[in-house]
A and B are shown apart, each in its own frame.
Chain A
Amino acid sequence: MTAILEGRNIVKTFTTRRGGQKHEVRAVGDVTVAADRGEIVGLVGESGCGKTTFSRILIGIETASSGTVLHDGKPVATKADWKALRRDVQYVFQDPYTSLCPTMRIGEALAEPLLVHGIGDKSERAERVREALSLVGLQGFIADRLPSQLSGGQRQRVSLARALMIRPRVLICDEIVSGLDVSVQAQVLTLLTELQASLGLSLIFISHDLRVIRYLCDRVVVMYRGEIVEQGPVERVFGAPESDYTRGLLAAIPDHSRRGEPRLGLRPAGHEGARLA
């Protein structure tokens, strides 16, 4: 089966000038990730590992220096290709406070994707907005609100609903629960699993939080400094990590379910290791 969405051999380099010399910074180096139907793929790594850049290349917000984005097995090249891809693939941004237009009422913001794609007439669109709101567990009156009148969790639900308006097959979620409180995060994660099951959605879920990845994903890709260091089914990667980096990352996770002595330790970490007097 061909994957709905695949980034193949994606490389992204930035050039910076420092002291008159050009430096090439490789943000993403030769990364290949594919999303199959109904699958949740986790992309995990620390800040600067290139996970967000890679995900933005998949939807065309940023362009790759080299490599190909494949949509249903066909390379995406022309403007029309990207347009078709965006009917199938949607993106939810990390910060719910900046990803909604501050002056547009929620109902209008939700109806807009339908409007610009010429889907339905006015009353059908209103109906779809109501459906979408209830799908993400929000009440209908939210449609008359402005983003500034909503909490962070509610905004993130609205962002989700908006991305789902045109019924994509793949949803890319960039750190969408990182800014949320634990109890709100649980609500959004539960919602995501429900949506995935009921709509048969594929998810590419980006997070720095391994606990969230472990909970949500079928497959995980661990990135470090722009490269993939390990990938595989979550049970395998979390149960028997193959790379030292993944092992270190797992050991650093604070976890209230662990018994006995605290495990967070001062592992030798190069020059950053603590030396106590």
Chain B
Amino acid sequence: MSADPALRFEHVTIAFPGAEGPLKVVNDVSFAVGSGQCLVIVGESGSGKSMACQALLGIVPAPGAVSGQGIFWEGRDLLKSSARDWMKVRGAEIAMVFQDPAAALNPLMPVGRQIVDVVRAHRSVTRAEAERRAIEVLNQVGFPEPERRMRAYPIELSGGLRQRVAIALALACGPKLIVADEATTNLDVSIQAQIIGLLRSLKEELGISIVFVTHDLGLAPEIGDEVLVMYAGHAVERGPVREVLDRPSHPYTIGLLNSAPTLESSRAHPLKPIPGQVPALDEIGAGAPFRSRCPVVVSGRCDSAKPDWTACGGGHFVACHRFAQDGIGGVQ
């Protein structure tokens, strides 16, 4: 992580009103992304990863409330800035790519014109200049024959091409950060590989920072520099991708890795699923979020206090009482 990260998400909590007090879908989560870096947020459904992204863009749906020390973008606290200022940042400096490109594109408008509109909404340029910009970004995302095919409607394009257009749309105003929420989840593996490759080259060649949200740990080493593992609204482990994948230190991360089949796995070496289910948010209370399914609970601590971050070396941190007490040997 660079000394002065472009984005700092500091102790942010997102709560929705519940029957018995607020339900924290994101609970005191912090992370930072350096410029030209990629942070991968990994979590299963209900982990709060998508909600964190939405907070980043100021689009948490009502009646959700975002609180915390701040969301700092290049030194400015977005949480404290007005809706107008935030809107200027959003789209121009921070852009988002969604899981479903069909939902992000207007089905009744040619894709080229949608990009032109975005450019003209944020910059005072002529239509011809905006069109040149549209062709430029479509070229950047590997959209074939943009001059001709930009007149196509979304429905005429394949899923992979649509996601490319969605990324071009995000790129149109030259953002410094792209938030990709499950952007490759519904795509075929070969298309997914192309989109990942595209995002990686945007990062490496244009220096764009990326927050990549996924449920698939396997994608982390393909694109990420850092990874943040989330569980039931809590951040449980973070660090450089290879560090975390090679030395997973939180029982949940270990469980997740043991659950995911790889190209080397077979029935001869059975998967070890995590028993049980994700607890309801109001069942977590004051203790460690994973305690109800954890094989190495520290009795007396896990059910009463949230674990603090413990350093595991190499910029790798884990929030686990067992690790804090017994080190890596305790969790494995």
Q: Contact residues of A with B, CB < 8 Å?
A: 46-47, 151, 153, 181-187, 189-190, 193, 208-212, 214-216, 234-235, 238, 248-258, 262-267, 269, 271-277
Q: Contact residues of B with A, CB < 8 Å?
A: 44-45, 136, 139-142, 144-145, 159-161, 188-194, 196-198, 200-201, 205, 215-223, 245, 255-267, 270-274, 277
CB-contact partner of B259 in A183, A250, A266, under 8 A? A183
Are B223 and A262 in contact, with the CB atoms below 8 A? yes
Are A214 and B263 in contact, with the CB atoms below 8 A? yes
Are A275 and B142 in contact, with the CB atoms below 8 A? yes
Q: A253-B218, A275-B142 known; A186 and B190 CB under 8 Å?
A: no
Q: A183-B274, A275-B139 known; A211 and B196 CB under 8 Å?
A: no
**Closest approach, in angstroms, between the C-beta of B172 and any C-beta of chain A?**
14
**Closest approach, in angstroms, between the C-beta of A45 and any C-beta of chain B?**
9
Q: Which residues of A contact B44 (CB under 8 A)?
A: 181-184
Interface of B, secondary structure class, is helix
**Closest approach, in angstroms, between the C-beta of B17 and any C-beta of chain A?**
22
Q: Which residues of B contact A256 (CB under 8 A)?
A: 217-218, 220-221, 245, 257, 260, 262
CB-contact partner of B218 in A187, A235, A254, under 8 A? A254
Are A257 and B262 in contact, with the CB atoms below 8 A? yes
Listed A/B pairs (5) with beta-carbon separation below 8 Å: A189-B271, A190-B270, A190-B273, A252-B193, A256-B245
Q: Which residues of A contact B189 (CB under 8 A)?
A: 46, 208-210, 249, 252-253
Query: How far, in whole Å, are A238 and B263 apart by their CA atoms in the complex?
Result: 8
Query: How far, in whole Å, are A203 and B144 apart by their CA atoms in the complex?
Result: 42
- Nearest B residue (CB) for A153: B277
Are A47 and B188 in contact, with the CB atoms below 8 A? yes
Q: Which residues of B contact A211 (CB under 8 A)?
A: 218, 260-263, 265
- Nearest A residue (CB) for B271: A186
Are B261 and A212 in contact, with the CB atoms below 8 A? yes
Q: A248-B190, A249-B190, A265-B197 known; A182 and B264 CB under 8 Å?
A: no
CB-contact partner of A276 in B191, B201, B217, B270, under 8 A? B201
**Closest approach, in angstroms, between the C-beta of A207 and any C-beta of chain B?**
10
Q: A190-B270, A264-B197, A276-B205 known; A182 and B260 CB under 8 Å?
A: yes
CB-contact partner of B142 in A214, A255, A272, under 8 A? A272
- Nearest B residue (CB) for A275: B142
**For B215, B222, B255, B272, which residue has the most chain A Cβ atoms within 10 angstroms?**
B222
Q: Which residues of A contact B196 (CB under 8 A)?
A: 254, 264
Query: How far, in whole Å, are A252 and B261 apart by their CA atoms in the complex?
Result: 15
- Nearest A residue (CB) for B158: A272
Query: How far, in whole Å, are A153 and B218 apart by their CA atoms in the complex?
Result: 21
- Nearest B residue (CB) for A235: B266
Are B262 and A272 in contact, with the CB atoms below 8 A? no
Q: Which residues of B contact A212 (CB under 8 A)?
A: 261
Q: Which residues of B contact A46 (CB under 8 A)?
A: 188-190
